[in-house]
Amino acid sequence: MAHRWGMAVDLDRCTGCEACVTACRAENNIPTVGPDQAAAGRAMHWIRVERYWEGDFPDARLTFRPVLCQQCDAAPCEPVCPTYASHHTEEGLNAQVYNRCIGTRYCANACPYNVRFFNFFNPQWDRPLQLQLNPDVSVREVGVMEKCTFCVQRINAAEIQATADEKPQKDGDLKTACAQSCPATALVFGDLNDPESAVSRLSRSPRGSQLLGDLGTQPKITYLARQSQT
Amino acid sequence: MDRRIFLKVTAVTGTSATLASCGNPEHAIIRFIPEEEHVPGVAEWKPSLCPLCQAGCGVIVRVMEGDAEVVRNGQAGVMRMGLAKKLEGNPAHPISQGKLCGRGQAAIQIAYHPDRITQPLKRTGPRGQGQFQPVTWDAAIAELVAQLDGLVTSNNQRGLAFLKGGGRGQRDDLVSQFLDRFGAPPAVSFDLFNYDVLRRANLLSFGREQLPTFDLARSGYVVSFGADFLGTWNSPVAQHAGYGQMRQGRRGVRGAFVQVEPRMSQTGANADEWVPARPGTEGVLALGLAHVLLSARLRPADAAGRAGALIDGWNAGLTGYTPADVEKQTGVAAARIERMARALVEQPPGVAMIGGAPLAQTNGLFAALAVNALNALLGNVGQPGGVSFMPQIPATVTPRRSSPPERRTLQAVTAAILAADPSPVQVLLVDSTNPVFASPSGWRTREALLKVPFIASFGSFIDETSVLSDLILPDHAFLESWVEGRPESGAAVPVATLAPPALRPLHQTRATPDVLLQVASRLNKPLDFPWQTFDEMLMAAFATLPAPSADTDAWTAAQQQGGWWGAADAAGQTRPGGPAAQAEPAGRTTQAGGTNQGGRPDAAPVRALEAQFDGEPAAYPFHFLPYASHAFLDGSLAHLPWLQELPDAMTTAMWSSWAEINPQTASKLGIAEGDVLEITSTQGSLRTPALLSPGIAPDVIAMPVGQGHETFTRYASGRGQNPIKILASAAEPETGALAWAATRVRVTRIGPPNGDLILFAGEMREHPHEHEHER
Amino acid sequence: MSDADRRLTDDLLRPLLTTSARFWVLVAFLGAIVATGLGTWVYQMYWGFGLTGVRWPIFWAFYVTNFVFWIGISHAGTLISAILRLVNARWRRPVTRCAEAITVFALMIGAMFPIIHLGRPWLFFWLIPYPNQRGIWPNFRSPLVWDFFAITAYLTGSVLFLFLPMIPDLALVRDRTTGWRHRCYGVVSLGWRGTTKQWNRLETAMEIMAIAILPVAVSVHTIVSFDFSMAPVPGWHSTIFGPYFVAGAIFSGIAALIIAMALLRTFLHLEEYLHPVHFQNLGKLLLMMSLLWAYFVFAERLTVWYGNETAEMAVFRATQSGAFAPLYWTMVVCNFVIPFPILALKKTRTIAGCVVASSCVLVGMWLERFLIIVPSLGHKYLPYSWGTYRPRPVEIIITISTFAAMSLLYVLFAKLVPIISVWELKVGAHPAHAAESVEARDDEQALFVARTEP
Amino acid sequence: MSRASRARILRTLVGCTLLLAVAGTSACRPANNRASMASVYTPARETVGEAVNDFFGIRPRVTQPFPFPHSTHVAKKVACTDYCHESVTKGPVAGLPSVKTCMICHESIATDRPLIQQITDLSKRGVDLSWQRVYGYSAQAHVRFNHAPHLRAKVECSTCHGRIDQQTVAERNVDMKMGYCVDCHKAKGASNECLTCHF
């Protein structure tokens, strides 16, 4: 049976520590753009931890919410792409094919979550920082869109491995970089087609909901609400 | 970097681009025969140890083959070698449990940093000008040896001083032995955000001079006094794991958590209740809680035992700490105090923790003792869901001096240097600390160092301290060297992390412990160490540990799994070993530091002290609260671009420094978001952008530490402002620890936004319009 | 051939046959600006799209604004002249060609912007369906691909529509010239000899084109509006966008036409052929469109405000009262407040009045497109990711240079082709029109009278 | 103003416009002709020319640093996967041998040949041969090829690498265009999902 990769985000566990943000950067060769470009709104974070303030002193309250590509089943970014650079795979991933991207940036406009990022310039690494680059992941060049891939390089590797040693993957063997790093285990990644997988069980939680679900994008990421004492 | 330069570098490209793409031969570059074999394209995971904070998380390094530009016998070329690609938590490690914080993961950039010092340097220009010339290792070591021999001949061994960061393990042990054998005073360790006060308090209350370990996974109600335990305090990764469990790990039970602090930290943001108590009154609040428990007979006074006895008026039931009195002092409503106190017993196990700013007050020790007493009263010490002390392995392989070493704070040393002429310190060795940046200007650290005739630094980067040195003997990056650590908190079992080098050195650097051993052997009167190299010492140390299994010994096992640790108990749960559980679980364990073998100093009960603040409230109306930056800690990580571009969790600021101010206060002072402020204390002033935050008390100005480096690599130099500079040099009297939260300031608007504040987020509220309506 | 005809021919062919130094100065000036624009584009391609002010999350801005604007302008000609042709409004005759020329050039310029705005412009041809070894086709679900087809179709149509009625005049020029010019015009006039057969063929062809071009024109701007309304972006996802955009397009198109005519009138001394009447009538059209535009905006805004949907309202506030309010109200003033009175009153509906009104409309309509695109992208669903936009020099230079390009093309066109259809004015030049020619003369004279009376 | 001068002006104008247009198309990828041992790593092309070549799929000729005779070795029954490309059985990459590998055999074999002596000399100096990739992709094709699955699918080495036993230094004798891969994948019923190879 084909996989259907999804994620559950427990907002009651998430502490906004941003370990996931750095993990993603390290795994996926996401460049740092430097202060000038960051100020110009070109900083790239495939996963970001949104923080929202509520109320005022002394009753101020703050909530964190990690936002990454929701890998929607009805993704607005896909139909608008004129070249199929952004398209849906058999396993339900929202693929972004860099070499096919011509940079219309339409997908980024259509994405309600603003999780797509554009290479405004060629990325650069001051030598020898480039020695850290992950050889399993492309280094994107100027003019192409990029976004969270659910660590497709890990998914592919795991699948190749599974076929090689002819045994199915176990739930929890395969983790995205963010889920792997999450110290409070707020991010859980897995196969939604496996009803017993941790992610499936969490996705069925009564606390669960989907980000902007009412837009009909059918995200494959479920957010479990943060509970409060009172 | 202006746009022109930016554009220039944007277009320029390197040879690796060519290597990767179509192969046109690059005759220019020599290729060396690889020194090790790797299967190309296949990742190998090697254990290592995160060096960034005292938590001591065990990590695993993803190593893959790649082409690196290296220098071999004086010739530059390319070599195929194993390269570190990613750091993850070591799943087998009791503290990190397979997880790693963002800072730890960014540590990989230290190894590959473009501004790393690649070979020994000798100062050429005047001090502080940063003019150095490369020298060979032999020359460099010879010079240092000559300096030390000089001290010996002039019979002034005590003229040698060693300045190091906080840290425990064989490396620090080697240093102290080196100094001991040489006849020099013990090393001075300096760390802005140190734990001296807390350790002292735990020594007094529980006889353990050690950081506490919290079993959050099983806690029911947590009250944290300023402890940023989900950010930068104590053992964040381990505490995160516990926290996740506490919230959603147990069926039907969700642990509650209250954060007491005047400025909401990232940890505080996760609390169910945020209690902005007045700065410096945390101890009083703790005793207020205790008073409720006592007066309501919820817990017997004697349950607190010795920890309670340390508090003046404890057995009298803490009269004078009625909720009403406490409300007056702390500004926390009496009813709220009542409620919190009851919750501590009604949602067991209740536990309190204290750290950060409350301990950085002139009455920090009292606050810590008060919280200890509260925990003792709650009877959670050494109990599941409570506070406990991690069993320790003796941090030495050779018998220590009988007498505990005298403690010297950096402040004392600099004072001594500045007082006497010539300087009592003739030769200063500096290792992994940057006091010139991280100490208040009142200490005049820079002037003091300039007065020292000879300074040698082991730093890997030119920072504010190493730029003053005459000789730089660059250390390996942690990934290139043997690493060993003995964490004092974060797990229930004794832990000694150990790992061999994960990669070959990229540059002409040498591991500092090896350098010390070489120096020791080359002195006219060699300090006869039993080992030639650091790994021999480590081997000796691990030989004394019991083998985990019959077919292997501790040493080899440790190298494979990334360390040695006692087994968790049968239940698989890590039960914390409290003071009661000294002997268990595995092997020889004893109390920390060896400074308080057996006995404990009997201390007189302490009376509540009013926190003293520098600066007249009239002239300096605001409390100034510098806090450990989520990304940079005390500033030692400001050179890592990943962390510079990491949006701050609370403010989403990147590449910036800022001052947080309450919106009401701001509107009173006519300050808008991003406006340039001038913050003035009795010690001086600085200018930085304002950031309006509802999560800060109206009488507090908070500012993250970490930016404002003068010289610290291309990424940090000249970026932002350093709040430490304007701190008063107030100290906690008992320990002499810097009271970095005891300064008052005044704030004036200088001008409109100047673009220094770079935010990632657009809006701070999910429904900005509705919020405007409410107000 | 009558004297009137001869004089008329001389007048209208003068610009082609004699060239003043002023012409060369103008061409050089405009050419320089256009060259700068092209250079800037190359510069942008060389260094990267980051030279623009575009940023996360506002990934479309000036270039797409220009795209929509110019495509809008293009609706002047073909649509107008086609309608007028079909309803056989006689006053149209001198107007049609200027109008159709505008269409063609505006389309050419507008069609460039989707390419200019690409991150990797050199790969634009992936929008074109062509068999390839990869076995990949464009994504026909993407509005951008629809754009491609719509625009190519419209461009082809408009070129034909412009060219067909030009043939007899080109032939006329051919006969009046010698040397290489003679040869060139000979080629393009496709051997026109003015036989009855040819005349009939021409008439039929033009009728067909006139009918065919209308639906195309309407569809083009509807499809352009789909670029926005198909995306779930607050402020974009609206059913009114199709007609709204078409109306706006015609609105700005007429404005452009009026200005172009006024300029031609003065520079080429065509006072005798472009009469106040023409401006009067076009002014009325413009007035109607202005009202229509106002109605659409009102309907669109009202529903948003009444619906009070969170995300939509964020955009609403940003434009109505927020950071974009100044631009928004400028737009309203330029598109309605100013043009309406000027065009409503017969007294002010003079040539000058029409030009003033039209200029305002052009500014207003450009702003309208900008305000549709940028505020919406800056205020999508998650406020954390809100952002704002400032243009950078490259965008401004390229934008300006396109206006220069428009003028340059127009100047050259007026130089090479009689900008006013000679044969249509002197109807009756062939038997088929004998009947009509009388009336034609009549109203020609009527006009003379109208003009000479104080 | 004379007719000639007008014509000149016109020509210059047209010229400039054309020139810019051409430049525009030729600067296909952001690149830079200051080729130097740069201090930054970027995926940018070194020269405009390189960018143009890449755009049109023109590959610079690969010249190997050493005339390695594949034919001889294959004839001598040295299997590709014995030492030189042994990684192909272990991981995604076949790997290029270092001089060390040569010396495994040539410590003793054919030590009298001048070429072998060159190799021996190199290994003594600790210098390696920098082999050029024959089947490398343009970086901007973002292709990730993994040998293992292809070996498992019983794809003959010769399918892509040709009759190596008839070559001295390896020649690129299969034109690795995407079509080539796609056709084979179609034929073998392997996935043609973009993400199979491009990520």
pLDDT tens across B391-443, in order?
A: 987 655 555 554 556 678 899 999 999 998 899 999 999 999 999 999 999 99
* D57-68 mean pLDDT: 85
Choice among A22-36, B204-218, B610-624, C128-142 with the minimum mean pLDDT: C128-142
C2 touches chain B (CB under 8 A): no
CB contact under 8 A, D41 and A98: no
Residues in chain B within 8 Å Cβ distance of A10 = 244, 248
**What's the burial of C367, exposed, middle or buried (CB within 10 Å: 0-12/13-18/19+)?**
buried
Query: A152 to chain D: nearest residue by CA?
Result: D199
CB contact under 8 A, C39 and D20: yes
Structure token digits, residue C280: 């009067």
CB contact under 8 A, D43 and A123: yes
**What's the burial of B383, exposed, middle or buried (CB within 10 Å: 0-12/13-18/19+)?**
buried
Tell me, rounded to whole angstroms, the distance of Cα C275 from its chain centroid.
22
Rg (CA), chain C: 23
The CA distance from B220 to B343, in Å, is 9
Please answer whether residues A171 and A197 qualify as being in contact, where contact means their C-beta atoms are separated by less than 8 angstroms. Answer: yes
Percent of chain B with pLDDT over 90: 77
Instruction: Indicate if the pLDDT at residue A26 is higher than 90.
Output: yes
Between helix C196-229 and helix C143-163 the angle, nearest 10°, is: 160
* Residues 6+ away with beta carbon under 8 Å from B654: A35, A38, A43, B644, B645, B646, B647, B648, B758, B759, B760
Residues in chain B within 8 Å Cβ distance of C383 = 762-763, 765-768
Among the partner-chain residues C48, C124, C127, the one whose CB lies closest to the CB of A120 is: C48
Touching chains, B (3+ CB pairs < 8 A): A, C, D
* Predicted local confidence at residue B18, as pLDDT: 33
What is the per-residue pLDDT across A137-180, written as a single tens digit (0 to 9) for each? 999 999 999 999 999 999 999 999 998 888 888 898 999 999 99
Residue B288 C-alpha, separation from nearest chain A C-alpha, in angstroms? 21
The count of other CB atoms within 10 Å of the CB of residue B348 is 18
Residues in chain B within 8 Å Cβ distance of C320 = none
Tell me, rounded to whole angstroms, the distance of Cα B764 from its chain centroid.
30
CB contact under 8 A, B15 and D132: no
Q: In terms of pLDDT, which residue wins out, B601 or B91?
A: B91
**Minimal CA–CA distance to B259: which of B243, B237, B238?**
B243
What is the per-residue pLDDT across D75-122, written as a single tens digit (0 to 9) for each? 888 888 888 898 888 888 888 899 999 998 898 888 889 899 999 999
What is the per-residue pLDDT across A105-134, written as a single tens digit (0 to 9) for each? 999 999 999 999 999 999 999 989 999 999
Among the partner-chain residues D46, D64, D123, the one whose CB lies closest to the CB of B13 is: D46
Residues in chain B within 8 Å Cβ distance of C47 = 7, 10-11
Among the partner-chain residues C53, C59, C382, the one whose CB lies closest to the CB of A50 is: C382
CB contact under 8 A, A122 and D43: yes
The count of other CB atoms within 10 Å of the CB of residue B467 is 22
Please answer whether residues B219 and B385 qualify as being in contact, where contact means their C-beta atoms are separated by less than 8 angstroms. Answer: yes
Residues in chain B within 8 Å Cβ distance of D138 = 21-22
Q: Which of residues 35-74 of C touch B (CB under 8 A)?
A: 46-48
CB contact under 8 A, B25 and D46: no
The CA distance from A54 to A51, in Å, is 10
What is the per-residue pLDDT across B520-560, written as a single tens digit (0 to 9) for each? 999 999 998 999 999 999 999 888 888 888 888 889 999 99
Q: Which amino acid is at C326?
A: P
Among the partner-chain residues A53, A127, A129, the one whose CB lies closest to the CB of B765 is: A53
* Predicted local confidence at residue B603, as pLDDT: 62
Query: Degrees (nearest 5) of the Cα angle C132, B23, B31?
Result: 160
What is the per-residue pLDDT across B269-323, written as a single tens digit (0 to 9) for each? 999 999 999 999 999 999 999 999 999 999 998 889 899 999 988 988 888 899 9
Among the partner-chain residues B20, B32, B39, the one whose CB lies closest to the CB of D87 is: B39
* Predicted local confidence at residue D33, as pLDDT: 31
The CA distance from D103 to D111, in Å, is 10
D193 touches chain A (CB under 8 A): yes
The CA distance from D150 to C297, in Å, is 60
The CA distance from C261 to C278, in Å, is 9
Residues in chain D within 8 Å Cβ distance of C39 = 20
User: How far from B129 is each of B132, B249, B459, B497, C235, CA to CA, in Å?
Assistant: 9, 55, 17, 39, 58
Interface with D, mutate which of B1, B6, B12, B83 (most D CBs under 10 A): B12
Choice among A171-175, B212-216, B598-602, B702-706 with the minimum mean pLDDT: B598-602
CB contact under 8 A, A228 and B272: yes
Among the partner-chain residues D17, D21, D178, the one whose CB lies closest to the CB of C133 is: D178
Instruction: Indicate if the pLDDT at residue B263 is higher than 70.
Output: yes
Give B32's strand partners.
B79, D127
Please answer whether residues A171 and A177 qualify as being in contact, where contact means their C-beta atoms are separated by less than 8 angstroms. Answer: no
Number of residues that make up chain A: 230
* B346-363 mean pLDDT: 95
**Minimal CA–CA distance to A199: which of A181, A177, A224, A182?**
A224
Q: In terms of pLDDT, which residue wins out, B30 or B332?
A: B332
Residues in chain D within 8 Å Cβ distance of A164 = 148-149, 152
Residues in chain C within 8 Å Cβ distance of A109 = 59-60, 231, 233, 377
Please answer whether residues B44 and A135 qualify as being in contact, where contact means their C-beta atoms are separated by less than 8 angstroms. Answer: no
Low-confidence ranges of chain C (pLDDT < 50): 428-454
* B488-492 mean pLDDT: 92
* Predicted local confidence at residue D138, as pLDDT: 84
Residues in chain B within 8 Å Cβ distance of D59 = 22
Among the partner-chain residues D13, D28, D182, the one whose CB lies closest to the CB of C134 is: D182
Between helix C325-332 and helix C351-378 the angle, nearest 10°, is: 150
* B33-47 mean pLDDT: 92
The CA distance from C413 to C27, in Å, is 12
* B11-35 mean pLDDT: 51
**Minimal CA–CA distance to B599: which of B184, B73, B248, B203?**
B203
**Helix H segments across B420-565?**
435-438, 445-451, 512-522, 534-543, 554-561
B74 touches chain D (CB under 8 A): no
* Predicted local confidence at residue B23, as pLDDT: 36
* SS3 of residue B471 by DSSP: strand
Residues in chain C within 8 Å Cβ distance of A37 = 50
Touching chains, A (3+ CB pairs < 8 A): B, C, D
Residue D172 C-alpha, separation from nearest chain A C-alpha, in angstroms? 23
Instruction: Indicate if the pLDDT at residue B698 is higher than 90.
Output: yes
Question: Residue B72 — very low, low, confident or very high, per pLDDT cuts 50/70/90?
Answer: confident
Residue C42 C-alpha, separation from nearest chain D C-alpha, in angstroms? 5
Residues in chain A within 8 Å Cβ distance of B266 = 15-17
* Predicted local confidence at residue B392, as pLDDT: 84
Touching chains, C (3+ CB pairs < 8 A): A, B, D
Q: Which amino acid is at D146?
A: N
What is the per-residue pLDDT across B104-126, written as a single tens digit (0 to 9) for each? 999 999 999 999 999 999 999 99
Among the partner-chain residues D87, D134, D138, the one whose CB lies closest to the CB of B21 is: D138
* Predicted local confidence at residue D11, as pLDDT: 56
Question: Residue B167 — very low, low, confident or very high, per pLDDT cuts 50/70/90?
Answer: confident
Torsional sign, CA B652, B656, B662, B665: negative
CB contact under 8 A, A105 and C50: no
Q: Are strands A145-147 and A116-118 parallel, antiparallel or unpaired?
A: antiparallel
Residues in chain A within 8 Å Cβ distance of B267 = 15
The CA distance from A166 to B222, in Å, is 48
Phi, psi of B42 (to 5 degrees): -110, 130
Question: Which ipTM did the prediction report?
Answer: 0.89
B7 touches chain C (CB under 8 A): yes
C314 touches chain B (CB under 8 A): yes
Percent of chain A with pLDDT over 90: 90
Residues in chain D within 8 Å Cβ distance of C48 = 30
CB contact under 8 A, A36 and B266: no
**Minimal CA–CA distance to B340: which of B258, B267, B262?**
B258
The CA distance from A123 to D140, in Å, is 13
Please answer whether residues D93 and B80 qualify as being in contact, where contact means their C-beta atoms are separated by less than 8 angstroms. Answer: no
Count of A-C CB contacts under 8 Å? 141
Interface with D, mutate which of C25, C38, C409 (most D CBs under 10 A): C38
What is the DSSP secondary-structure string of B361-418?
STTHHHHHHHHHHHHHHHT-TTSTTSEE---B--S-SSPPPSSPPPP--HHHHHHHHH
* Residues 6+ away with beta carbon under 8 Å from C270: C11, C12, C94, C264, C419, C420
Choice among B72-81, B194-203, B248-257 with the minimum mean pLDDT: B72-81
CB contact under 8 A, A164 and D148: yes
Q: Are strands D127-128 and B31-32 parallel, antiparallel or unpaired?
A: antiparallel
Q: Which amino acid is at B189?
A: S
* Predicted local confidence at residue D133, as pLDDT: 85
Q: Which amino acid is at B364?
A: G
Interface with C, mutate which of B769, B771, B772, B773 (most C CBs under 10 A): B769
D194 touches chain A (CB under 8 A): yes
Residue D45 C-alpha, separation from nearest chain A C-alpha, in angstroms? 10
**What's the burial of A206, exposed, middle or buried (CB within 10 Å: 0-12/13-18/19+)?**
exposed
